[in-house]
């Protein structure tokens, strides 16, 4: 839940900065991309601090070397965040981050089912963990220019598709 709060708070801050006249943050899509970068940096840090052992316990037992997987996914999150900032890598980064999030959702399901302890508390129930779906959608919206279009119609359509998806979860 904290990750969702970080994402939304960063987005609101970036939208406010954009409204104040900073061109790079003038659109909701640009400010959402920067908010995703903040969120991925925030979540990646957990892969390298004392939280890494909790994250390793989330990984299903059939995966070998869970701590190595935690390190690798942390690096991938940082690379994805950097890729979102670079126009020539934005599309690839978005696709890779979506794949990474889908893969990491397996660990979230495992943690909820096994009642893994994270930061001294029981894992968040699975229904609440599905907030990760919001992140998937946000990543899709930010990368709505996958076909190279910059039309507002395409951006609005993707936003509506993601909103509809979230409402039917």
Question: Any idea what the Cα angle at residue 95 is, between residues 77 and 72, rounded to 5°?
Answer: 30
Tokens 């004392």 — which residue? 50
Answer whether residue 137 shows pLDDT above 60: yes
* Measured distance CA(19)–CA(16) in Å, rounded: 5
Phi, psi of 118 (to 5 degrees): -125, 125
Residues composing the chain:
169
What share of the chain in percent tops pLDDT 90?
Answer: 40
Reported pTM: 0.79
pLDDT tens per residue, range 109-134: 888 888 888 888 877 777 777 666 66
Answer whether residue 28 shows pLDDT above 90: no
What is residue 34's predicted lDDT score, i.e. its pLDDT? Answer: 92
Among 9-13, 77-81, 99-103, 133-137, the minimum mean pLDDT is found in 133-137
**What CA–CA distances, in Å, run from 5 to 43, 84, 161?**
12, 20, 22
Among 19-23, 81-85, 90-94, 136-140, the minimum mean pLDDT is found in 136-140
pLDDT tens per residue, range 30-89: 888 899 999 999 999 999 999 999 999 999 999 999 999 999 999 999 999 999 999 899
């Amino acid at each position: 839940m904290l990750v969702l709060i970080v994402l939304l708070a960063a987005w609101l801050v970036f939208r406010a900065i954009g409204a104040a006249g900073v061109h790079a943050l003038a659109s909701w899509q640009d400010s959402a991309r920067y908010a995703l970068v903040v969120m991925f940096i925030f979540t990646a840090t957990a892969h390298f601090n004392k939280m890494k052992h909790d994250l390793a316990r989330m990984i299903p037992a059939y995966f070998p070397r869970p701590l190595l997987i935690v390190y690798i996914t942390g690096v991938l999150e940082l690379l994805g965040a950097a890729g979102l900032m670079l126009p020539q890598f934005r599309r690839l980064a978005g696709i890779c981050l979506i794949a990474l999030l889908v893969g990491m959702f397996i660990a979230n399901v495992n943690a909820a089912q096994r009642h893994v302890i994270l930061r001294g508390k029981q894992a968040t129930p699975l229904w609440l963990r599905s907030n990760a779906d919001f992140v998937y959608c946000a990543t899709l919206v930010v990368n709505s220019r996958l076909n190279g279009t910059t039309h507002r119609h395409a951006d609005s359509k993707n936003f509506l598709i993601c909103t509809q998806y979230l409402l039917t979860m």
